[in-house]
Amino acid sequence: MTQPSTRILVLGAGIAGLLFTLRLSGKVARESVQITLVDEVDTFTIRPRLHEFATNQRIFSRPFSQILLQTQVQFVQGRVTSLDPSQHRVTVLDQQQQRHELGYDYLVYALGSMTDRQNVPGVEQYAYTLTAKGPFSASALRGRLPDIAARGGQVVVCGGGATGIETATQVASVYPQIKVSLVTRGALARSWDKSVADIFRQRLVNLGVEIVDQSEVSAVRAQSVVLEGGRELGCDLCIWTTGFVVQPLARESGLAVNEHDQALVDPFLHSVSHREIYAIGDAAMPVENPGVSHVRMSAFTASIMAAHGADCLSAELAGKTPKPLSFAYVAQAVALGQNHAIFLPLTPDDRPRLPYITGRLGAFTREAFVGFVVKATLAQQRFPGMFSWVGKRRYEQQLQKRTLEGHPSQQAHHLS
Ligand X SMILES: Cc1cc2nc3c(=O)[nH]c(=O)nc-3n(C[C@H](O)[C@H](O)[C@H](O)COP(=O)(O)OP(=O)(O)OC[C@H]3O[C@@H](n4cnc5c(N)ncnc54)[C@H](O)[C@@H]3O)c2cc1C
List residues near ligand X by CB under 6 A.
12-17, 38-41, 47-48, 50-51, 79-80, 110-113, 130, 163, 247, 281-283, 297-300, 302, 333
Write down the least CB distance from residue 347 to ligand X, Å: 16
Taking the least distance from each CB to ligand X, the nearer of 10 and 207 is 10
Output 13 or 399, the one with its CB closest to ligand X: 13
At its nearest, how many Å lie between ligand X and the CB of residue 370? Answer: 7
Residue 293 CB, nearest distance to ligand X (Å)?
Answer: 18
CB of 408 to ligand X, least distance (A): 32
In the complex, what is the shortest distance from the CB of residue 132 to ligand X, in angstroms, rounded to a whole number? 7
Compute the least distance from the CB of residue 238 to ligand X, in Å.
Answer: 15
Q: How far is the CB of 409 from ligand X (least distance, A)?
A: 28
**Alpha carbon distance 324, 157 (integer Å):** 40
Q: Report, in Å, the least distance between residue 275 CB and ligand X.
A: 21
Nearer to ligand X, 143 or 234 (CB): 143
Q: Of 227 and 346, which CB lies nearer to ligand X in the complex structure?
A: 346
Residue 101 vs 232, nearer CB to ligand X: 101
Give the nearest residue (CB) to ligand X. Answer: 14
Comparing CB distances to ligand X, the nearer of 23 and 399 is 23
CB of 273 to ligand X, least distance (A): 20
CA distance to 10, 324, 331, 388, 406, per residue, from 391 (Å): 27, 12, 13, 10, 23
> Which residue lies nearer to ligand X by CB, 272 or 346?
346
Q: Which is nearer to ligand X, 299 or 399 (CB)?
A: 299
Give the 3-state DSSP-derived string for the chain, with helices as H, strands as E and coil as C.
CCCCCEEEEEECCCHHHHHHHHHHHHHCCCCCEEEEEEECCCEEECHHHHHHHHCCCCCCEEEHHHHCCCCCCEEEECEEEEEECCCCEEEEECCCCCEEEEECCEEEECCCCEECCCCCCCHHHHCECCCCCCCCCHHHHHHHHHHHHHCCCEEEEECCCHHHHHHHHHHHHHCCCCEEEEECCCCCCCCCCHHHHHHHHHHHHHCCCEEECCCCEEEECCCEEEECCCCEEECCEEEECCCEECCCHHHHCCCCECCCCCEEECCCCEECCCCCEEECHHHEEECCCCCCCCCCCCHHHHHHHHHHHHHHHHHHHCCCCCCCCCCCCCEEEEECCCCCEEEEEECCCCCECCCCECHHHHHHHHHHHHHHHHHHHHCCCCCCCCCCCCCCCHHHHHHHHHHHCCCCCCCCCCCC
Nearer to ligand X, 308 or 399 (CB): 308
